Amino acid sequence: MNNQASISALLDLLHECNSFVITSHVRPDGDAIGSSLGLMHLLEAMGKQATVVFTDPIPPNFHFLPGVERISRKFPASDAVIFLECDSVERSSIERLEFEAAQPILTINIDHHRSGRNFAQFNWIDPAAAAVGALVYDLALASGVPISSATADCLYTAILTDTGSFNYPSTTASTFAMAEHLVRSGTNPNLIARAIYFCNPLSKVRLLGIAIANLQIEGAVCWSHVTLAEIDRVGASVEDCEGVANHLIGIAGIEGAAFLRELPGPPQFRLSMRSRGTLIVSTIAEHFGGGGHHSASGCTMEGSLKDGTERIVDELRAACVRLQEDRLHASTQPTTLLA
Ligand SMILES: [Mn+2]
């Protein structure tokens, strides 16, 4: 199904149900939270009941979003469950047992990850979309329901954060057209930027300092880590560890960056990778059992930080070599003469 067909089929399904649970992935980011709350406001404007469920904490810089105080940790009975940005029930905040006990009539999956899977009864996956918030925006337009300023704040936040503040390759003219419409619908970009980017807890900045101190660089690859002891030392929360990899890929000449965060329990860690769009990190994440986007992806891996770092850096090195070979190949191809 193309997007238009998906949207009209989805609108038919939404009209048939009265109550909805909306959820997204664990460790929710701006797109997960913004698109969930934006969809909640849209469904309510359509006369429906909607509950957003997250079991993981909402990072403090998203506490300003309209409706965030209504996010539930419990999974209520409903006609339909809508999963945003999830490739499975397991990836969501909802426990499988809780999900099976509730037996929703309908499951809906809306995603924009390349690793997205058709796990629900209705699936709409568009890897070209800049954010799931952009898909919810398309849905809102097609529904004919006017976009309220609450909906606009949530969807703008989703799009702003998932495009890296309109910097990633997924940013196109239509991204700005959406942003323009959302601003016209009541969003104040300056207030949103202040809430998201100028409200970092001190513990987050101190943790970034440790990650920068642990930085290593080799050619176009860089990597860093934080241990549990280091996370404890600055009193950092799990949310404080989000976004470190974005700083690593900002270094001149770097094509691939990896950030490893040690996890409690048996030796394991969380890996986040970034590129500038030419080196594809999602295939490396998939190789290790994770997923994501071309230029931003991650996974959880077992083993020590030291062994993990070696395995990941090997993969990034190899990806860089392939990238250089491709560039060399492209530059030796005969160029078409302009008439
Ligand atoms: Mn997203």
Rounded Cα distance between 256 and 139, Å, is 35
Q: State the architecture of 202-327 in CATH terms.
A: Roll (3.10)
Quote the Cα angle for 121-94-291, to 5°.
75
Cα atoms in the Cβ-side hemisphere of radius 13 Å centred on 30: 25
Domain limits of the chain? Answer: 3-197, 202-327
Q: How close is the Cα of 255 to the center of ligand 1, in Å?
A: 22
DSSP string, 48-84: -EEEEE-SSPPPGGGTTSTTGGG-BSS----SEEEEE
The alpha carbon of 36 is separated from its chain's Cα centroid by a whole number of angstroms, namely 12
Q: Which range is least confidently modeled, 112-116, 252-256, 300-304?
A: 112-116
Residue 335 binned pLDDT confidence (cut-offs 50, 70, 90): low
**pLDDT tens column, 70-129:** 999 998 999 999 999 998 888 887 877 777 777 778 999 999 998 889 999 999 999 999
First to last CA, the chain: 41
Q: How close is the Cα of 328 to the center of ligand 1, in Å?
A: 33
Q: How close is the Cα of 298 to the center of ligand 1, in Å?
A: 13
Superfamily of domain 3-197: inorganic pyrophosphatase (n-terminal core) (3.90.1640.10)
Cβ contact 214:224 at 8 Å: yes
Residue 312 binned pLDDT confidence (cut-offs 50, 70, 90): very high
Burial, 31: exposed, middle or buried (Cβ in 10 Å; 0-12, 13-18, 19+)? buried
Residue 119 phi, psi (nearest 5): -95, -15
DSSP H helices, 17-165, are 30-45, 96-102, 132-143, 149-162
Q: How close is the Cα of 233 to the center of ligand 1, in Å?
A: 31
**pLDDT tens column, 151-176:** 999 999 999 999 999 988 889 999 99
Determine the pLDDT at residue 145.
97
Cβ contact 94:53 at 8 Å: yes
Length of the chain: 339
Q: How close is the Cα of 145 to the center of ligand 1, in Å?
A: 23
Work out the mean pLDDT of the chain and round it to a whole number: 93
Q: How close is the Cα of 60 to the center of ligand 1, in Å?
A: 19
Q: How close is the Cα of 162 to the center of ligand 1, in Å?
A: 6
pTM: 0.85
Rounded Cα distance between 323 and 330, Å, is 10
53 has which bridge partners?
A: 23, 72
At 141, is the secondary structure helix, strand, or coil? helix
Nearest to 233 by CA among 213, 249, 215: 213
Query: Which stretches does DSSP call E strand in the chain?
Result: 19-23, 49-53, 80-84, 106-111, 122-125, 216-218, 221-226, 256-263, 268-275, 291-292, 296-302
- C-alpha dist (Å) from residue 52 to 28, 58, 80, 93, 175: 12, 12, 12, 10, 25
217 has which bridge partners?
A: 222
pLDDT of 239 higher than 90 = no
Rounded Cα distance between 120 and 13, Å, is 13
